[in-house]
Amino acid sequence: MWDDAFPSFLIGLREGLEAGLIVSVLVATLVRAGARSRLPQVWTGVLAAIALSMSFGAVLTFTAASLSATAQEAFGGTLSIVAVAFVTAMVFWMRRSARGFAGEIKEKVTEALAMGAGVLVLTSFLAVGREGLETALFLWTTARAANESAGPLTGAGIGLVLAAALCWGLYRRVLRINLTRFFTATGVVLIVIAAGVLGYGLRDLQEGTVLPGGTAYAFDLSGSVDGGAWYSALLQGVLNLTPAMTWLQVAGYAGYLAVVMTLFVRGVRGVRGTREQSGAGVPARAGAGAGADEAVAGGKRADAPPAVPSVTPPAAPPPTAERPAAPPSAPTTATTRRPAWLIPVAVVVVPALLAGLVVTLSHPKPAAGETVAVSETDCGRGFTAPEPGRQDFLMHNTGNQTSEVYLIDPSSNAVYGEIEGLAPGTTRDLVATVAGGTYAWRCVPADGRAVTSKAVRVGGATGAHAVVPVSERDLAAPLKAYRAYVDRGLATLVTQTRKLSDDIRAGRLGTARADWLTAHRTYASLGAAYGTFEYFDQKIDGRPDGLPGGVHDRDFTGFLRIEYGLWHGEPTSQLKGLAQQLAEDSAGLRKAFPHQDFDSSDLPLRAHEILENTLQFELTGDTDQGSGTGLATADANLAGTRELLVVLKPLLTTRAPRLLPTIDADIARLQKLLDSAHHGTGWTPVDRLDRTAKARLDGATGQLLEDLSPVPDLLEVRKSA
């Protein structure tokens, strides 16, 4: 998370400091001018700017979410380019303006004081709002590049808090900072980060088919570089350098860095040269046009209230200057005062309402669709070519059988949307995104042949996401390969459980503990076949949950019961019968397995469920009966998941080519964390992990589960006949 947090931390610190300095100068000018009563107007403008910035971030987030996958890439890439432009302009502007920063703001405040309350609110709003909008845009871009929001938001939050603390210290003259040097140093780092954002944005535009060259790679090190290693995460999180980059990405990255960094460095040297020529030997005087950096270092005047230095207060106006007294003959009229809370509430509510309106308009309700008939003889009656966009089809089963309904591309059988188990006489919504292409309905009754409707053509650009269906024939080869893997594992298990039984019978309990772990890991690595093992799984690896006698219940047998006895000092006489039974059950399972019904659709489901159970049981210590080897079992479960993905790889590669590299990086990250808990023949018990290590382990497992979650949908067997 922290590698993703650094760029946002830096932008939060810089933008926060800029906005904070503006507010500090505004406040200082008003205080010195004797106009403290106008301070609420400044804070109202600041509040409005914050509300607008947060609303802008919400609009970006929810607007992008309503787009198709291709459009999201194009939208994100475009905004990445815009963010780079804003950051670049900000870096050069602050380098140029840092020295006269306070004087410029003071002039604007002085003008606002003379023009009224509304202008002062507008001045603070515009000054802070610009920084807020830039921050929101850059944060959205970095969060999208990182594929998560926790790191970027945390980094930005820390940067903003630190910026607020620095501004308070400068206002109170507790701190002294050379702002020119600060903005120069952070500007160099931001240019490097912006180059990475530009490269990422160009890649998004290529994937969104806006720019060409999406498959023209300058290099591809994904096969030799560990994507889950710390250095890979650091380079990708901070610099957006990935193991594989196209020629356009490399050209954009290197070209931007070379041109912009050269101009920035030359500009810094030019500013320094000008300072040396014009100010050599002349000490800067606070309040006489000196730069903000020198002024901040000045001493505190005893006769002035705390304020940001270099701000010369305007002469205090006479008491009557701000509000002339009414003539004595003027009648006194009662004035109605607005509640003090009205304007602050309004400046927060109005941007939020506008953002909600924009989000609502960007998420239009699916076009109220036509009612489409579903039956075993007439599928798709009432279906006409819809308009492109999100459509709400009302599927009404007019037949006598429960049916599955698919919206398909008839040329490839790719599925755009589906309803399972549509009962007779019922109507359900099917919402799908329609783009340019050919569409038809396929109805598959519970007892009968599939019926496909007449195809319709929708004009416009392509881009709707569809899943190419998988048949049982497609899964036949992976199933055969996995069955062979399980058969070999069961043969090994039989040998290992017999050795465990012999050790316990001979009283070699120390050796039995090591053999127990070896055998248990072998069984745990066969996770995708558990549903096939029928009652053998409960006998071999059942938990005591729900048994009347708990761990001492007569029906509690297998690995976990023996684990309890071995690590709780039970005598050999109590364990040898349990060990003999485990060996017999293992042999019985091996004999029965070739004749057991192994549903091919179990393979995609288990790709996610194995580690889901690991997170629920092993990583919580729920299954630990005293050995403290939950992480060893988790390691075996990970090995089983990896083996399962090997046999599913051909099907996944053709349907989601970018998914497996991501999953491989997740597996490598989780494997590294598990290896760090393995010491020789021992494993760190889950309950002895420190909080950070446990959080990392849970986080890596959760991320892997999230990336594995599309596998069951991608490889679901859908009826076609």
Query: d(Cα 718, Cα 467) in Å, to the nearest integer?
Result: 11
Question: Which residues share a beta bridge with 244?
Answer: 220
pLDDT tens string 302-328: 333 333 334 334 444 444 334 444 444
564 has pLDDT over 90 = yes
pLDDT tens string 679-718: 888 899 998 988 888 888 988 898 899 889 889 888 888 7
Please say whether the dihedral angle defined by the alpha carbons of residues 420, 424, 428 and 434, taken in this order, is positive or negative.
Answer: positive
Query: d(Cα 469, Cα 480) in Å, to the nearest integer?
Result: 20
pLDDT of residue 185: 78
pLDDT tens string 341-376: 566 676 667 767 776 666 565 555 544 557 888 888
- Residue 31 neighbours by CB under 8 Å, 6+ apart: 39, 305, 306, 307, 313
pLDDT of residue 294: 37
pLDDT of residue 293: 39
pLDDT tens string 260-273: 888 888 876 665 55
Residue the block writes with tokens 């519970």: 446
Give the count of beta carbons closer than 10 Å to the beta carbon of residue 567. Answer: 17
Which pLDDT band, with edges at 50, 70 and 90, does 634 fall under?
Answer: very high
In the chain, the percentage of residues whose pLDDT exceeds 70 is 71
Which pLDDT band, with edges at 50, 70 and 90, does 578 fall under?
Answer: very high
Query: d(Cα 649, Cα 657) in Å, to the nearest integer?
Result: 10
Q: What is the pTM of this model?
A: 0.50
Which pLDDT band, with edges at 50, 70 and 90, does 529 fall under?
Answer: confident
Alpha helices for 506-558 (secondary structure H): 509-524, 536-541
Q: Which two tokens stand for residue 244?
A: 């594989």
Q: Which two tokens stand for residue 203?
A: 């890649």
pLDDT tens string 122-136: 766 766 776 777 777
pLDDT tens string 97-128: 655 555 655 565 566 555 555 666 776 676 67
pLDDT tens string 388-422: 877 888 888 988 888 889 898 888 888 888 888 88
Q: Select the more confidently predicted residue: 30 or 720.
A: 30
Instruction: Tell me the HSE value of 325 on the side-chain side, using a 13 A CA sphere.
Output: 6
Query: d(Cα 76, Cα 146) in Å, to the nearest integer?
Result: 12
pLDDT of residue 331: 44
pLDDT of residue 326: 40
Q: Select the more confidently predicted residue: 264 or 29.
A: 264
Amino acid at the residue 497: T
Q: Which of 69-83, 157-171, 180-194, 620-634 is modeled with the greatest confidence? A: 620-634
Q: Which two tokens stand for residue 597?
A: 């019904």
Question: Which residues share a beta bridge with 395?
Answer: 372, 428
200 has pLDDT over 90 = no
* CA nearest to 581, candidates 557, 560, 547: 557
151 has pLDDT over 80 = no
Alpha helices for 461-529 (secondary structure H): 476-505, 509-524
Question: Which residues share a beta bridge with 663?
Answer: none
Query: d(Cα 196, Cα 201) in Å, to the nearest integer?
Result: 9
User: What is the bridge-based pairing of β-strands 437-445 and 403-409?
Assistant: antiparallel
